[in-house]
């Protein structure tokens, strides 16, 4: 066991592990775990001056990275020494060719959310149709069971129910295979069929994309709620797609869908005079860095930081993989499709523009009322 680094207590380790690395899931961990994690992260950073901290684990310790310098070391400077704990990118497929088709799908589906009250279940159901159509084509649009199976697999993994996870995974894979065989043009399945080197990993490719697109529903609902309570940004977002994209990126900064990036040491690695053995998990808590108290905009809705260069110097704001860019483009198109026809207005308790934004949000409580958009009078 490493001896030169500070160590969290057993209880601190348990709470942080539950919040940052839910077993078998890329989804956001339970809200209560994240609430417990925030004060612990701040306390550890203050207690040890930003030095990395060892968390106790059932099999081996994990290293929690708390400073910008150490985060850059893991993610940029020595990236070859730290491999992703899970696959984080779509294996090099040239997905940008699908952008126009995906954007059209998003705009089309968004048209169903321009009246009445929009809550998370309604928005998520419509966005999951976008995800299924993008990945498998129009033939999968109504396959709600596919999305339910994916959610079940994730939940079973989070709870450690391996037997149930295996059963649901088998059903999920069988359903994916049927959709992949259609290889619809304009879908990811069609692109996989046209790319010989990707076909052998088609099942994994498709699962990756459906999950990656699916979890964006939370960020979309949060963005819509923020726009409902920030009319100036709503007006700017309606007029400028770049401003709307900035609003979505800002919601994802405030409440990142993945609260921590996980890496594994590829070989013995020196940390402050202590050697961590190969296979040690290294955690970079994005949520803490993106809400650091050193940021003047930490707990406010500030889309302008993505437009005026303020965020350009932040390591966590650097461009991600092609998949992340495509997801942002599709998500922006989806929100744009809503805003072109309607304006989100507050309905019930929402995120306030007059007080600091909370570290966690229960999206099931977010609701907005869609009002018809005001149309400019025709020019004579």
**What is the rounded distance in angstroms from the CA atom of residue 118 to the CA atom of residue 115?**
8
Buried b (16+ CB within 10 A) or exposed e, 210-235: bbbbbbbbbbbbbbbbbbbbbeebbe
Going from the N-terminus, what domains does the chain have, and what CATH number goes with each? 10-89+257-291 (3.30.43.20)
Length of the chain: 380
Taking each continuous run of H as one helix and of E as one strand, the counts in the chain are 15, 10
- DSSP labels, 182-207: H--TTSHHHHHHH-HHHHTTHHHHHH
- DSSP labels, 315-363: GGGS---HHHHHHHHHHHHHHHHHHHHEEEEE-SS---SSSPPPS---G
**What is the rounded distance in angstroms from the CA atom of residue 84 to the CA atom of residue 266?**
10
For tokens 């976008």, what's the residue? 130
Number of Cβ within 10 Å of residue 375's Cβ equals: 7
**What is the rounded distance in angstroms from the CA atom of residue 211 to the CA atom of residue 172?**
12
For tokens 């690395």, what's the residue? 21
**What is the rounded distance in angstroms from the CA atom of residue 49 to the CA atom of residue 360?**
25
- DSSP labels, 237-255: HHH-HHHHHHHHHHHHHHS
pLDDT digits (tens, 9 = 90+) for 183-229: 999 999 999 888 876 666 777 788 888 988 998 999 999 999 999 99
The helix (run of H) or strand (run of E) holding residue 84 is strand 82-84
Alpha helices in 137-230 (DSSP H): 144-159, 162-182, 188-194, 196-199, 202-214, 216-229
DSSP 51: -
pTM beyond cutoff 0.85: yes
DSSP 96: G
pLDDT digits (tens, 9 = 90+) for 47-91: 998 899 999 877 788 999 999 999 999 988 887 899 876 555 555
DSSP 76: I
Token pair listed for 370: 């869609």
For tokens 């998949």, what's the residue? 323
Q: Are strands 281-284 and 62-64 parallel, antiparallel or unpaired?
A: parallel
pLDDT in single tens digits along all 380 residues of the chain: 445 799 999 999 988 887 886 544 444 555 556 667 788 888 888 899 889 999 987 778 899 999 999 999 998 888 789 987 655 555 556 888 999 999 999 999 999 999 999 999 999 999 999 999 999 999 999 999 999 998 888 778 767 788 888 888 889 888 888 899 999 999 999 998 888 766 667 777 888 889 889 989 999 999 999 999 999 999 999 999 999 999 999 999 999 888 888 899 999 999 988 899 999 999 999 888 999 888 999 999 999 999 999 998 888 887 666 678 899 999 999 999 999 999 999 886 678 888 899 988 889 999 999 999 876 534 43
**What is the rounded distance in angstroms from the CA atom of residue 225 to the CA atom of residue 245?**
15
- C-alpha count within 13 angstroms, C-beta hemisphere, residue 193: 16
> Maximum CA pair distance of the chain?
78
């Amino acid at each position: 066991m490493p001896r030169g680094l500070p160590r969290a207590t057993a209880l601190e380790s348990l709470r942080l592990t539950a919040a940052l690395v839910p077993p078998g899931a890329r989804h956001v961990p339970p809200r209560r775990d994240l609430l417990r994690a925030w004060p612990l992260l701040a306390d550890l950073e203050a207690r040890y001056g930003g030095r990395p901290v060892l968390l106790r684990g059932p099999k081996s310790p994990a290293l929690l990275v708390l400073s910008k310098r150490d985060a850059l070391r893991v993610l940029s400077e020595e990236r070859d020494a730290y491999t992703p704990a899970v696959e984080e990118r779509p294996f090099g497929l040239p997905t940008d060719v699908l952008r126009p088709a995906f954007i059209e799908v998003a705009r089309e589906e968004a048209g169903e959310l321009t009246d009445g009250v929009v809550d998370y279940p309604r928005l998520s159901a419509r966005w999951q149709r976008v995800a299924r159509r993008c990945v498998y084509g129009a033939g999968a649009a109504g396959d709600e069971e596919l999305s339910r199976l994916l959610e079940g697999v994730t939940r079973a993994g989070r709870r450690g129910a391996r037997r149930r996870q295996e059963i649901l995974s088998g059903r999920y894979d069988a359903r994916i295979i049927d959709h992949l065989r259609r290889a619809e043009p304009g879908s990811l399945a069609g692109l996989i069929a046209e790319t010989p080197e990707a076909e052998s990993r088609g099942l994994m490719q498709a699962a990756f994309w459906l999950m990656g697109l699916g979890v964006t529903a939370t960020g979309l609902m949060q963005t819509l709620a923020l726009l409902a309570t920030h009319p100036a940004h709503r007006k700017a977002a309606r007029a400028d797609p770049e401003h709307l994209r900035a609003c979505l990126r800002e919601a994802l900064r405030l409440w990142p869908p993945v609260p921590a990036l996980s890496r594994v040491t590829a070989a013995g690695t020196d940390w402050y005079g202590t050697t961590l053995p190969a296979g040690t998990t290294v955690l970079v808590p994005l949520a803490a860095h993106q809400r650091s108290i050193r940021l003047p905009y930490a707990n406010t809705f500030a889309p302008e930081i993505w437009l005026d260069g303020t965020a350009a110097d932040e390591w966590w704001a650097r461009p991600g993989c092609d998949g992340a860019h495509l997801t942002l483009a599709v998500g922006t198109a989806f929100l744009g499709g809503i805003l072109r026809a309607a304006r989100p207005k507050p309905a019930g308790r929402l995120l306030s523009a007059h007080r600091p934004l909370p570290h966690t949000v229960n999206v099931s409580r977010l609701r907005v009322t869609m009002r018809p958009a005001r149309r400019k009078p025709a020019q004579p």
